[in-house]
Amino acid sequence: MVEIKEMPFKDKYEACVAGAKALDYFALPLVKERLGDSKVNELKSIMQKQAKPIPDQASDEEKYELAYGNWMREWQSAYDFVGKELGDNGKEEFVRRAVDYWKKKTASPALYILSFVRAIAPKTAFRMTAKQLAYQWQVFMPFSISEFNDQRMVLTASHCKTLDYEGCEDTCTVACQKLIPLWWKEQFKVRMTPVPAGESCTLTFTPL
């Protein structure tokens, strides 16, 4: 079975902080453009109330857990706010802007090199990409790899961490089932198919 490098809690923590900070670059501008500064301030106030302080003396694991909770609650608050103020069209634009932000944020020379590898050795490119995506997925929840080959990777999580936070159901139904799959399809040319079942979830990755 393939082994994926374990992500340190410090890196998980920083990824969660970056995830929450991303709202400043796509959610707040959306609200400002469509609703004005007063609504931006209103949303900022709501998000700030959701954030719990992270002590400097806390361990990396403790910081990660706190930052993860902040990220989930702030993301859900922003998504709910946009939905309330702008309806379904606003929600769709929220997702689109999030995808575009992360595509720009994670663009790198390595992705261009990978595109050349994909052209001449698609199986090798998929394995390289799948390993990297599995590494990144450690931020979201613990999982095991139940299948990995040139055409398919399957991750199995017995417990989805997002369910630990009340009111964050859309993090699963929107972020994990729509936003992230769309982002990874467009940028990494990988199809991600999540199948939630209660608290557990199976994620299948295949090349496009």
- Please list the pLDDT of the chain residue by residue as tens digits (208 residues): 567 889 999 999 999 999 999 999 999 999 999 999 999 999 999 999 988 999 999 999 999 999 999 999 999 999 999 999 999 999 999 999 999 999 998 877 666 676 767 777 888 889 888 998 999 999 998 899 999 999 999 999 888 888 888 777 777 788 888 999 999 999 989 999 999 888 889 999 999 8
Distance of CA 123 to the CA centre of its chain: 25
Q: Report pLDDT for 114.
A: 66
Residue 103 forms part of a structural domain: yes
Residue 50 forms part of a structural domain: yes
Residue 2 forms part of a structural domain: no
Tally of domains in the chain: 1
Question: Under a CB-based contact definition with an 8 Å cutoff, are residues 126 and 104 in contact?
Answer: no
Residue 138 three-state SS = coil
Residues in the chain: 208
Q: Report pLDDT for 165.
A: 80
| pTM of structure | 0.89
Q: Report pLDDT for 93.
A: 96
The two three-digit tokens of residue 116, written as one number: 């050349």
Question: Under a CB-based contact definition with an 8 Å cutoff, are residues 207 and 116 in contact?
Answer: no
CA angle 160, 201, 88 (to 5 degrees): 80
Q: Which amino acid is at 186?
A: E
Name 39's Cβ contacts closer than 8 Å, sequence gap at least 6: 31, 32, 85
Round the CA-based radius of gyration of the chain to a whole number and report it: 18
Residue 160 forms part of a structural domain: yes
Q: Report pLDDT for 159.
A: 84
The residue segments making up the domain with residue 54 are 9-207
Dist. CA 71–CA 100, nearest whole Å: 19
Q: Report pLDDT for 79.
A: 95
User: What phi and psi values does residue 152 have, to the nearest 5 degrees?
Assistant: -165, 135
For 78-111, letters b (16+ CB in 10 Å) and e give bbebbbeebeeebbebbbebbbebbbeeeeeeee
Residue 4 forms part of a structural domain: no
